[in-house]
Amino acid sequence: MSEFFNAFTGANLNYLLGGLGITVGVSTISVVLSLLFGSIVGIIQFEKIPYFSSLVGTLNNIVRNLPLLLIIFFTYFALPQLGFRLPIFWSTVAAMTFFESAMLAEIVRGGLEAVDRGQFEGARANGLSNMQTMMHIVLPQAYKKMIPPIISQLISLVKDTSLASGIVLAEMTYRGQIVYAQNTNYIVPVLLVLTVVYFLLNYGLSLLAKWFDKRLA
Amino acid sequence: MTLLNHYFSVFLQGFGYTLLASLIALVGSLILGTLFAIMQVTTSKVARTIGNIYVQVFRNIPLLIITLFFYLAVAKVIKMTGFTAGTIALMLYTSAFIAESVRAGILSIDPGQMEGARANGLTFWQAMRVIVLPQAFRVAIPSLGNQFINLVKNSSILAFVGGLDLMYQGNLVAASSFDTFTTYIIIAIFYLVITLPLSYYVQYLETQLKKKA
> Does residue A7 carry a pLDDT above 90?
no
User: For position B197, what pLDDT does the model report?
Assistant: 95
Per residue in A54-105, pLDDT tens?
999 999 999 999 999 999 999 999 999 888 889 999 999 999 999 999 999 9
CATH number for A89: 1.10.3720.10
**Residue A211 counted as domain residue:** no
> Does residue A9 carry a pLDDT above 90?
no
Q: Which residues of B touch A82 (CB under 8 A)?
A: 181
Quote the number of domains for chain B: 1
The whole-angstrom separation of Cα B103 and Cα B27 is 17
The whole-angstrom separation of Cα B56 and Cα A62 is 30
Q: How far is B28 from chain A (nearest CA, A)?
A: 21
Top pLDDT among B207 and B49 is at B49
Per residue in B111-138, pLDDT tens?
999 999 999 999 999 999 999 999 999 8
Q: What are phi and psi of A59, to 5 degrees?
A: -60, -40
The whole-angstrom separation of Cα B209 and Cα B213 is 6
Is the alpha carbon torsion for A106, A46, A32, A142 positive or negative? Answer: negative
Mean predicted confidence (pLDDT) in A194-202: 95
User: For position B43, what pLDDT does the model report?
Assistant: 87
**Residue A204 counted as domain residue:** no
The whole-angstrom separation of Cα A193 and Cα A7 is 10
The whole-angstrom separation of Cα A137 and Cα A154 is 26
Q: If pLDDT is split at 50, 70 and 90, which confidence band does A185 have?
A: confident
User: For position B63, what pLDDT does the model report?
Assistant: 96
Q: Determine the structural domain holding residue A144 and report its residue range.
A: 21-174
Mean predicted confidence (pLDDT) in B69-91: 94
**Residue B92 counted as domain residue:** yes
Q: Which residues of A touch B199 (CB under 8 A)?
A: 61, 64-65
Q: Given A67, A155, A188, which is nearest B73 (Cβ)?
A: A188
Q: If pLDDT is split at 50, 70 and 90, which confidence band does A52 have?
A: very high
**Residue A114 counted as domain residue:** yes
Mean predicted confidence (pLDDT) in A125-144: 88
Q: Which residues of B touch A98 (CB under 8 A)?
A: none
Give CA separation, B128 vs B31, B46, B123, in Å.
Answer: 14, 19, 8
> Does residue B190 carry a pLDDT above 90?
yes
Mean predicted confidence (pLDDT) in B156-169: 93
Mean predicted confidence (pLDDT) in A144-168: 92
The answer to whether B36 touches B55, Cβ cutoff 8 Å, is yes
Q: How far is B132 from chain A (nearest CA, A)?
A: 27
Quote the number of domains for chain A: 1
User: For position A2, what pLDDT does the model report?
Assistant: 63
User: For position A202, what pLDDT does the model report?
Assistant: 96
User: For position B4, what pLDDT does the model report?
Assistant: 83
**Residue B197 counted as domain residue:** no
Helix axis angle, B82-108 relative to B133-154, nearest 10°?
A: 150
**Residue B5 counted as domain residue:** no
**Residue B137 counted as domain residue:** yes
Q: Given B64, B170, B195, which is nearest A163 (Cβ)?
A: B64
**Residue B30 counted as domain residue:** yes
**Residue B183 counted as domain residue:** no
Q: Which residues of B touch A77 (CB under 8 A)?
A: 174, 180, 184
User: For position A1, what pLDDT does the model report?
Assistant: 57
**Residue A165 counted as domain residue:** yes
**Residue B208 counted as domain residue:** no
> A86, A89, A212, A78: which is closest to A154 by C-alpha?
A212
Q: What is the mean pLDDT of chain A?
A: 91
**Would you tell me how many other CB atoms lie within 10 Å of the CB of residue A90?**
13
| DSSP label of B70 | I
Q: How many beta-carbon pairs below 8 A join chains A and B?
A: 106
**Residue A196 counted as domain residue:** no
Report helix, strand and coil shares of chain B as percent, to nearest 5. 90, 0, 10
Q: If pLDDT is split at 50, 70 and 90, which confidence band does A196 have?
A: very high
> A116, A115, A123: which is closest to A145 by C-alpha?
A115
Q: Given A73, A162, A199, which is nearest B184 (Cβ)?
A: A73
Q: Which residues of A touch B65 (CB under 8 A)?
A: 162, 173, 191, 194-195, 198
**Residue A209 counted as domain residue:** no
Per residue in B8-28, pLDDT tens?
999 999 999 999 999 999 999
| DSSP label of B73 | I
Q: What is the mean pLDDT of chain B?
A: 93
* Inter-chain CB proximity B64 and A206 less than 8 Å: no
For chain A, percent of residues with pLDDT exceeding 70: 98
Q: Given B57, B68, B191, which is nearest A199 (Cβ)?
A: B57
Provide DSSP, A17-77.
HHHHHHHHHHHHHHHHHHHHHHHHHHHHHHHT-TTHHHHHHHHHHHHHTS-HHHHHHIIII
**Residue B173 counted as domain residue:** no
Exposure string of B140-155, with b = 16+ CB inside 10 Å and e = fewer, is bbbbbbbbbbbbbbbb
> Does residue B149 carry a pLDDT above 90?
yes
The whole-angstrom separation of Cα B188 and Cα B169 is 12
**Would you tell me how many other CB atoms lie within 10 Å of the CB of residue A196?**
11
CATH number for B98: 1.10.3720.10
Mean predicted confidence (pLDDT) in A180-202: 91
Provide DSSP, B94-141.
HHHHHHHHHHHHHHHS-HHHHHHHHHTT--HHHIIIIIIHHHHHHHHH
The whole-angstrom separation of Cα B90 and Cα B64 is 9
Q: Determine the structural domain holding residue B125 and report its residue range.
A: 18-167
